[in-house]
Structure 1
Amino acid sequence: MTQIRFLNGLTTIGGNIVEFSTDDSRVIMDFGVAADLTDETVASAIDHGKLPNVPELFGLAEDPWAHEAIFISHLHIDHMGALQYLKSDIPIYLSAPSYQLYKTLIRLGIEKPVHNLHPLPFETPVTVGAFTVEGFASDHDEPGVMALLVGDGERWYAHSGDVRLNGPHPERVAHWAQVFHDKKLAMFMIEGTTFSFDTETPVEDQAHPSVPLTEQGFQDHLLAVLKQAPALVAINPYIRNYARLAAIQTVAHQAGRQMVWEKPDAAVLTEMTDQAPDQVIGETIELATIRQAPAQYVLESAFAHLDWLATLPVSQYVHTNGEPLGDYDPRFQQLKDFLAAHQIPLRFLSCSGHATRPDLIKLAQMVAPRIIVPWHSFHPEREAKALDAATRAEVLLPEKDLYYTLDEPDDEA
């Protein structure tokens, strides 16, 4: 009989980890962190609930499972950041694009080496003892994201991963939602990020909230900014969203500018897209060249090199989901203070990777599971209330580290 245990992420954005197990088989969906592990040992982080309670995977206990694997929905730290602490040689599966990105980030020193990684082709089931697991291409601001389907021979379970319906690939979400609907899921775990906030959608600066854009809307607004700016435009994208990196360079060309990248992002652009970087700071161009003709360039501005902007004529600083991401990061206030001190206007052009509240309800209705679990939210109870009112599913707010079983097999599983 399958047991389901929720290991983390029930009242946080990210860090959501769920385990499906039998006597000899186990599969784990995601393995991230959503807490600061500074000054923590692995043992203390487990005790404090910052790492999942699976000491056997961290070399602190014997591992009783003969067949097991971890499946990562996408390569954001809150979904895979705990992998670096593994001592077990457990197989780890990611989508082929996320696998390639992970290898690139490891090579760049951004991620620590992790062993036994395997690319998982979309819609290609993998058998792990009593379980089969299949990944489906989805839509989020990490382009290799997967929704995950788990079968145990009697029932089907699924994990939405992080998802949006207003991105460039809504057809992917519609496809896996239909597959999940047809499987008559016994349980569906759905993210609830947008139920976390008092605003309808996440914002970076609560004092000056901006309206999140679609990816196409971002490109349109960026083009207008670049055409209107009389001097340099600085921008801070997120390195793992390589599709947006490529879009930024394309828009720069449309505005008659060249894109100047920092070395890590230039490497990701080269590895993960069909574009080569226009310029790489410190390799093909120097700040002095940009200073001579600032209106000809767009400069990636990493927080670590924010001081570069003090010596350049900057018309706008465009914040587009790069780090520091928002108010909850102490560096965000430092960023705002620096820009204000140097009279550089701050412009938010944000695209959320997470579905709106109405779209989350719509997705739940499309899948129509027997049981639905809202998580990946500071306030899952808000999503639970909305789901209870709008769907026929039994809504479960599980407790951490308890084992759940379904008493009766689905008749049509």
Structure 2
Amino acid sequence: MESKDKPIITFHSGILTIGGTVIEVAYKDAHIFFDFGTEFRPELNLPDDNLSTLLENRLVPELKDLYDPRLGYQYQGADEQAYQHTAVFLSHAHLDHSRMINYLDPAVPLYTLKETKAILNTLNRTGDFLIPSPFEEVGFTREMIGLEPHDVIEVGDLSVEIVPVDHDAYGASALLIRTPDQLITYTGDLRLHGHNAEDTLAFCEQAKASDLLMMEGVSISFPEREGTEEDKVLSEEDLIQRFVQLVLANPHRQITFNGYPANVKRFAKIIEQSPRTVVLEANMAALLLEIFDIAVPYYYLENALVIDQLDATLEVAYDTLLVDQERYVWQVVDRFENLQEGSLYIHSDAQPLGDFDPQYAVFLELLAQKNITFVRLACTGHAFPDDLAKIISLIQPKLLVPIHTLHPEKLENPYGERILPDRGSSITL
């Protein structure tokens, strides 16, 4: 058995894959976990999201004393020591980091930045964002403790500081985990080309000379794509300017768009700079109001849940949007068959996300049948390969562990050692 006086890091999942990161840091009588999502494998076409189904298909890991005991789960691993102190931390709201939080034992505290808490509560308002708890009402989201930037949580002898970083999910964070002798750093997902790049740079300064750096490497996962993107969007600001240009270039045409809802900063910038009045679906409008206190025009689809917080005077009738060609650019989330023939649709990191999702081809065919021009306007939430190297150079870790990537071997550490762990393996510092 490993010494309890040394930190033990176990990589339960999120190794040699993108998403589903669940990592444990244990020290003395305490252990923490991050994150608590699932791998995204739509091609499996699973019959349900029951915990047993997810475990059988390795979309979530076997974990002792962490899942809701009401689920009847029996831990299948080897006997492990008991801990007096347990906590889970979420780095951000993307589903591959948060989707199974309703399966977490209600007795285990769950910490995240307050913006991520607000985003998850709002997006799960109707119970179809997160995996629902079978023991609660529709729309239930388990309790989260919303933190301010740089709040420090003590879990036994572990000290955890939550640090903002820039990502395409607003409210994203990294973790600085301290023992009396060592600094262990988890980047979460981050980049240097977003609206809040200064947050990532400030984090790198705090994390400098980490004893262990667990670093995401999504952008190095697809070497076959390198050099093939002739017109790549280089920053969030670049994306906004291209969006504006598309609107200006189509003055007498229905224009719709959609994006990933957790990227509320992008929505806010589109609203701020669009030449036309932006109208959002009501749930997205509620999220902008919650996060930024921005009241924007909105619409409801038929039979949608009325949101009391929204200003009724800002509602735009859905039928008005369907016939408009000049005044509005509006978010479309469903009923794409109702859009005008020959209209313009801007797909800005919305679902379905890409070719790996079987629904993507179906979606494109639907638009093609109506002669709708499809423009994909995407900007990655992950640091470009050169920026990953820059982040490592700023931190200069003693030990680097690449995670959240298909090709961890492509991430190098000129400043110390590198370990490429297997799923389920542990290292002791």
* Distance across 1 between alignment mates of 2:356 and 2:373: 21
Task: Pick from 86, 91, 104 the counterpart of residue 73 of structure 1.
Answer: 91
* 1:328-407 matches, cutoff 5 A: 328-383=356-411, 387-388=412-413, 391-406=414-429
Please name the residue that 2:269 is paired with.
247
- Separation in 1 of the partners of 2:342 and 2:282? 21
Give how far 1:260 is off: 2.3
TM-score for both structures, normalised by structure 1: 0.88
Q: Distance in 1 between matches of 2:182 and 2:36?
A: 23
Aligned equivalent of 2:33, options 28, 31, 35: 28
TM-superposed deviation, 1:287:
4.1
Residue of structure 1 aligned with 2:284, choices 265, 269, 272: 265
Is the Cα contact below 8 Å between 1:14 and 1:34 reproduced in 2? Answer: yes
Structure with the larger helix share: 1
> Does the residue aligned with 2:338 lie in a helix, a strand or coil?
helix
Give 1:105-116 correspondences, 5 Å limit. 105-109=123-127, 110-111=129-130, 112=132, 113-116=140-143
Alpha-carbon distance, 1:314 to partner: 4.8
Separation in structure 2 between the aligned mates of residue 41 and residue 237 of structure 1, nearest angstrom = 28
Say whether residues 1:94 and 2:116 are aligned partners: no
Of stretches 290-299 and 144-153 in structure 1, the one that deviates more from structure 2 is 290-299
Tell me which moved more, 105-114 or 127-136: 105-114
Alignment-derived partner of residue 296 in structure 1: 327
C-alpha distance in 2, partners of 1:397/1:365?
19
Alignment of 1:181-330 (within 5 A): 181=208, 184-199=209-224, 211-229=232-250, 230-252=252-274, 255=275, 257-282=276-301, 284-302=315-333, 304-309=334-339, 312-330=340-358
Q: Shift of residue 331 of structure 1?
A: 1.5
> 1:7-46: per-residue Cα shift (whole Å, max 9, x none)?
1011111111210113421111211111446446424533
What is the match of residue 151 of structure 2?
A: 124
CA shift, 1:213, in A, is 3.7
State the secondary structure of the residue aligned to 1:28: strand
**Deviation of residue 297 (structure 1)?**
1.1
Q: Secondary structure at the match of 2:423?
A: coil
TM-superposed deviation, 1:201: 6.5
3-state SS of 1:133 partner = strand
Matches of 1:314 and 1:242 in 2, distance apart? 28
Shift in alpha-carbon separation, 1:330–1:367, aligned structure 2, 3 A:
same
Q: Amino acid of the residue matched to residue 27 of structure 1?
A: I
Partner secondary structure for residue 223 of structure 1: helix
Does the aligned pair in 2 maintain the 1:194–1:200 contact within 8 Å? no
Structure 2 residue matching 1:79: 3-state secondary structure: helix
Looking at structure 2, the residues matched to 244 and 132 of structure 1 have their Cα atoms a distance apart, in angstroms, of 33
Q: Counterparts of 1:27 and 1:83 in 2: how far apart (Å)?
A: 14
Task: Please tell me whether the aligned partners of residues 45 and 51 of structure 1 are also in contact (alpha carbons under 8 angstroms).
Answer: yes
Letter in 1 for 2:197: P
- Counterpart amino acid of 2:37? G
- Residue 176 of structure 1 corresponds to 203
- Inter-CA distance 377–286: structure 2 relative to 1 (3 Å threshold): same
Distance 1:364 1:222, change over 3 A: same
Once the two structures are TM-superposed, the CA of residue 47 in structure 1 deviates from its matched residue by: 4.4
User: Which residue in 2 is equivalent to 1:8?
Assistant: 13
**C-alpha deviations, 1:349-388, integer Å up to 9, x for none?**
11111100010011011101111011111121222xxx14
Q: CA deviation at 1:52?
A: 2.0
- Within 1, Cα distance between the matches of 2:249 and 2:158? 56
Give a deviation string over 1:251-283, Cα, whole Å, max 9, x none. 33xx1x222222221221221223212231458
Aligned-residue identity in percent: 28
Normalised TM-score (structure 2):
0.85
Runs of 4+ in structure 1 over 6 Å off: none
CA distance in 2, matches of 1:142, 1:248: 16
Q: How many residues align?
A: 389
SS of residue matched to 1:100: helix
3-state secondary structure, aligned to 2:20: coil
Give the RMSD, CA atoms, in angstroms.
2.2
Residue pair 1:138, 1:172 contacting (<8 A) in 2 also = yes
> Any stretches of 5+ residues in structure 2 without a counterpart?
1-5, 76-80, 133-139, 302-311
CA contact (8 A) 1:57 1:88 kept: no
* Consecutive unaligned residues in structure 1, runs of 5 or more: 407-413
Q: Tell me if structure 2 keeps the 8 A contact 1:187–1:371.
A: yes
- State how far apart, in whole Å, the 2-side matches of 1:79 and 1:377 are: 14
Query: For the Cα contact (< 8 Å) 1:222–1:251, is it kept in 2?
Result: no
2:55 matched residue in structure 1: 46
Q: Are 1:201 and 1:356, in contact at CA under 8 Å, matched by a contact in 2?
A: no
Cα distance in 1 between the residues matched to 2:96 and 2:54? 15
Correspondence for 2:172: 145
| CA gap 1:145/1:361 in 2 versus in 1, 3 angstroms | same
